[in-house]
């Protein structure tokens, strides 16, 4: 016989609702924690956390403009997560830029990408990450975001997610993170290490 655990103290975080292996969606409904949709927005959440490390490193290094840019994308990735965590039959409750990814958000990434590209010297070869802690953290966030992109596409193949802008947004933001990593290296005066052995 298995003894039941008694609650020692109430928690605002640990509700116990997920102990059955399910998780709640944004506007109601529950799905398995290993559902492809959960994998998709869970991986986006990983990218947000990785960007947090990058932002902390940038702030510590005094690169405030880069840190502010990263904070913007962390906040927008919460919108991506909300979009992905909403069942298709509840999508009419979403709001552009708040809980639903929009074309305006994509435009914002593209504008920022062009601005940062014009501000740096673009490498002409594949770059090996690791010249600074901040740039390495940005690269880690980038590859996690690429994994999120794959997870979103896989989830959409299983059960259409109903979003036209999530994949293009993630794709473009991953491009921007690569550029921001180069900006962080160049701001620190760090050399570029290329994949080619010379």
pLDDT at 20: 61
pLDDT at 8: 59
pLDDT at 127: 84
Side-chain-facing half-sphere of 129: CA atoms under 13 Å: 16
Q: Please name the residue ranges forming H helices in the chain.
A: 36-60, 64-84, 103-119, 133-158, 166-187
Residue-wise pLDDT tens digits, 156-198: 999 888 889 999 999 999 999 999 999 999 999 988 777 776 6
pLDDT at 52: 97
pLDDT at 7: 54
Distance of CA 156 to the CA centre of its chain: 18
Residue ranges in the chain whose pLDDT is less than 50: 1
């Amino acid at each position: 016989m298995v003894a039941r655990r008694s609650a020692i103290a109430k928690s605002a975080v640990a509700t116990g609702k997920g102990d059955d292996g399910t998780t709640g969606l944004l506007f109601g409904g529950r799905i398995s924690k290993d559902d492809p949709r959960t994998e998709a927005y869970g991986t986006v959440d990983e990218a947000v956390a990785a960007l947090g490390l990058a932002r902390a490193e940038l702030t510590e290094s005094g690169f405030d403009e880069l840190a502010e840019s990263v904070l913007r994308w962390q906040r927008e990735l919460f919108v991506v997560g909300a979009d992905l965590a909403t069942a298709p039959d509840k999508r009419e409750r979403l709001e552009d830029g708040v809980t639903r990814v929009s074309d305006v958000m994509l435009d914002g990434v593209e504008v920022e990408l062009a601005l940062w590209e014009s501000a740096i010297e673009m490498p002409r070869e594949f770059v090996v990450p690791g010249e600074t802690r901040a740039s390495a953290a940005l690269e880690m966030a980038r590859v996690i975001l690429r994994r999120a992109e794959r997870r979103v596409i896989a989830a959409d193949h299983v059960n259409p997610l109903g979003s036209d802008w999530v994949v293009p947004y993630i794709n473009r933001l991953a491009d921007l993170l690569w550029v921001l990593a180069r900006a962080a290296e160049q701001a620190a005066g760090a050399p570029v290490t290329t994949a080619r052995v010379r």
